[in-house]
Structure 1
Amino acid sequence: MGTDYVALIKLYAETPLKNRLSLYWKCQLAGWSLAALYWGYTGISGGRFNVAVGILQFVTDVAVYSLITHLYRNFARRHHWTDLEINPLLKRIIPAAFVLGFIYLVVTAAKILLFQVWFDTGPQLNGYQFIQLNGVTLFMAGIRLMSIWLLAYHLYHYAQREVKSTRENARLEIMTRDARLSNLSTQLNPHLLFNSLNTIKALVVDEPDSARRAIDLLSDLLRTGLYAGDDVLISVKEELGLVRDYLELEKLRFEERLTYQIDMDDTLASVRILRLSIQTLVENALKHGIATTKAGGLVHIQISRQEEFIQIRIQNPGRLDARIPVSGLGLANLAERLQLTFTDKASLNVTNEPEGIVSATLRIPNA
C-alpha cells in the first residue's frame, strides 16, 4: 500500500505541469495573471514601487480572485447554470456580477488596507475612510472584471454545449440514415427474388430445360449478389455480375424479344456505386419497356465518366407517359437511397428519347 502511494506521488511529480492543469485552471491563472501584471505596471508607472510588495500583490491577486471565481463556478455547476439557455442564464449572471463585484470590493479593500499597515505603503486610512475614497471605483472595477469573467465562462460552456448537441444530432442522423439505407436495401432483395421466381414459374411447365437453367441462374443471383452482404456500396464490376445473371434469366422468358448490350469504360470497374442501382434500372426497363412492347428490343447499358460524375444510362424501347408517373417500388427506393447517400450531389432522370426510346440516367459523384 505504501509503495503504491509513493509510486503515485512519484508519477505525479514526473508529470509535466501542463498535463496536470485543466483548461479551466490554465485560463484562470492566465487571465488573473495578466490582470495582476497590468495592475503591477500601473503601480510601477505611478512612481513609488516596492518590488517585494509588488510580487506579493501579484501572488495574492491571482490566488484570491481565482478563489472567488472558482467558488462561483462550483455554485453555478451545483445549480446547473451551465445547462441554461441564454435568457434564463442572463437573469442569473447579471445579479451575480453585482454580488461578485461587491465581494471584489470587500476583498480588495481588506487586502490594500492590510498591505498599508504591514508595509507602510501609503497614508494610514481606516476602513470607513478608504471606502469613502475608493469604494465606488473598486466596486465598478469589480463589476467590470467579474462580468468579463462570467461572460467568458458561460459563453465557453454554451459553445461547448452547442458543439456537443451538433455532434449528437449528426451522430443520430448518420445512424438513422444507415438504418434507412439498410432497410431499403433489404426491401429490394425479396422484390428481385419474387420477380425471378415468377420467371421460373412461367417456364416450368412449357420449357422445363429453360426452367432448370433459370433455377441455376437464380442460385447464382442469390450467391453472388442478392444476399452477399449489407454493404451500401459495391463495385461496378460486382453490380454488373448481378445484372448479367438477371438479364440472362429474363432472356429465358422473353427469348428473342430481349437483347442487351453493356458498354463500360474498363477503368470504372472498381468504382463503388449503390448496390442494386443498375439492377433496379434494368428491371424497370424490362417491366415498362420490353414487357409492354410486342417486338421487344434492346436494353442498352452505358457506364461512363462525365467530369466529376459517373453516369449510368439505361435505354430501352417504349414511351414514357408523362400523365402516369413512374413511381414503383424500385425507382422510388433508388431515389431515396441516392438522397440518403449522396444528398443533392446525385440525380436520377427518366426521359423520352427520339425513335421511341426511354432513357434512365443516373449520375453519382466520382469519389
Structure 2
Amino acid sequence: MFRHPFFKYSFFILLVIDLSYGAVLSLLSNIPISMGNLYAALIWFVTFYWLPVWAAAAAIFSLRKKGINNTPLEWALAVTLMILGNTVTDHTLQLFFKWHTPMGLNVIISGLIWGSGIYFFSRYLEGKRRISIEETARKQAQLATLRYQLNPHFMFNSLNTISAYIHTKPYLADEVLHELADILRYSLDTAEQESISLKQEIDIINKYINIEKARFGDRLTLEFDIPENLLAIQVPPLILQPVIENAVKHNARQKQLHIVLKVDISDQLLKINIKDNGCGFSQTLLDEGLGSGIGIKNLSLRMAQLSRGKMHLSNDNGAVVALELAV
C-alpha cells in the first residue's frame, strides 16, 4: 500500500506546506525564528499534517481495495483524522510550550478546513494522474491498432509482388520468399516494441526492396544518406517502410525509379526525408488530405501519436515525404 505514489510525493508536499505556513505566521506575527519555534513546527508537521494525512490515505486505499469507493465517506475520514491530529497537536504543544494558547473550537474548524482542502486537492491530483494514464494507454492502443492494420496490408502487397513472377522466374522464388519470411518475422518480433534501431528499420527496407527488385530489376534503386552515428537511434517499427512501399506502388510504370532516404538531427528532432523521382503527389491529395491509401494514412495517424511527430507531403520533381519526431 505504501508504495503508492501518493505516499512518496505527499510527504514533501506537506513539508513545504508546513514550512510555508509557519513562515507566513512568523512574518505576520513578527515572531523571531528560534529553536523552540522550529521544534513546534516539527511537532505540527508530524501530528497535524504527516500522520493524519497518511492515516487517512491508508484507510481510504484500504476501503477502495475492498471495493468501497465513496467520496462522502472518504471526505469524512480525512476531516475526522485531521481534527484528531489537530487535537493531538494542540495538547502536545500545550504540554511542551507554555506560551501556546489552546485552540478550543478552532481544532474542529481548522481540521475541517485543512481536511477538506487536502482531500479534494488530492482527488484533483489523482484525477489528473488517472487521465494521464488513460491517455497514454489510449495512445498505445491506437498505435497498436494502426500497426495491426498495416501488417496485413503490407503482407498482401508483398505476396502480390511475389505472385507476379513466381511462375516465370521460379529460381528467384525461394530467395524472395526467404526475404518475405524475414519481414514477417520482424513484424511479429517487434509487435510489442515501441521502438527499434534505425539500422533494423533500414535492414527491413532493404529486404523489401530486394523483393521489389525481382519485379523491377535495375529500374529500381534506393540511396541512403544517413550518418553512421544515427544508425543506433531509436524509431518506431515499420515507420519508414510504408513510404518506400508507397513510392514503389505509385511509380510502377516509371522507366527508372530512384528513391533517396535522408536522415539527420536538428533541434532535438529526428528528420527523415524520403524523395523519389516519380510522378509525385496529385494536387488534390496535397490540398485535401492523404487520400484513401492505407499505408500513408496510417503513417500519418501514427506520427500524430508520437512526441513532436509530424508528416509533411510535397512535390519536388517527384514525391517528397518529410517526417519529424523527437529524439
TM-score above 0.5, yes or no: yes
Distance 1:221 1:80 in 2: 53
Q: CA deviation at 1:337?
A: 1.9
Distance 1:313 1:261 in 2: 12
Equivalent of residue 352 in structure 1, options 295, 301, 315? 315
CA shift in 2, pair 1:331/1:294, >3 Å: closer
What SS does the aligned partner of 2:283 have?
A: coil
Equivalent of residue 303 in structure 2, options 331, 335, 338? 338
Q: RCO (CA 8 Å, sep 6+): is it higher in 1 or 2?
A: 2
Any residues of structure 2 matched to 1:185-334 within 5 Å, and which? 185-223=147-185, 225-229=186-190, 230-288=192-250, 290-291=251-252, 293-316=253-276, 317-324=278-285, 325-327=289-291, 328-334=293-299
Any residues of structure 2 matched to 1:1-367 within 5 Å, and which? 81=72, 146-223=108-185, 225-229=186-190, 230-288=192-250, 290-291=251-252, 293-316=253-276, 317-324=278-285, 325-327=289-291, 328-342=293-307, 345-353=308-316, 356-366=317-327
Counterpart of 1:126 in structure 2 is none
Q: CA deviation at 1:80?
A: 5.0
Distance 2:262 2:204 in 1: 16
Any gaps of 5 or more consecutive residues in structure 2? 1-9, 23-43, 64-69, 88-101
What SS does the aligned partner of 1:203 have?
A: coil
Q: CA deviation at 1:142?
A: 5.6
- Per-residue CA shift, 1:248-284, capped at 9, x if unaligned? 1111112232111111110011100011011111111
Q: Work out whether residues 189 and 227 of structure 1, in 8 Å CA contact, stay in contact via their aligned partners in 2.
A: no
Counterpart of 1:19 in structure 2 is none
Q: CA deviation at 1:188?
A: 1.8
Distance 1:154 1:146 in 2: 12
Q: Aligned AA for 1:337?
A: R
Q: Work out whether residues 181 and 232 of structure 1, in 8 Å CA contact, stay in contact via their aligned partners in 2.
A: no
Greater CA radius of gyration, 1 or 2? 1
What SS does the aligned partner of 2:240 have?
A: helix
What SS does the aligned partner of 1:240 have?
A: helix
Q: CA deviation at 1:239?
A: 0.3
Distance 2:71 2:206 in 1: 63
More helix by share: 1
Q: Work out whether residues 235 and 273 of structure 1, in 8 Å CA contact, stay in contact via their aligned partners in 2.
A: yes
Any gaps of 5 or more consecutive residues in structure 1? 1-21, 35-61, 105-137
Number of equivalences: 250
Distance 1:200 1:274 in 2: 27
What SS does the aligned partner of 2:121 have?
A: helix
Distance 2:147 2:264 in 1: 24
What SS does the aligned partner of 1:262 have?
A: strand
TM-score of the pair, normalised by structure 2: 0.66
**After TM superposition, where is structure 1 displaced by more than 6 Å over at least 4 residues in a row?**
none
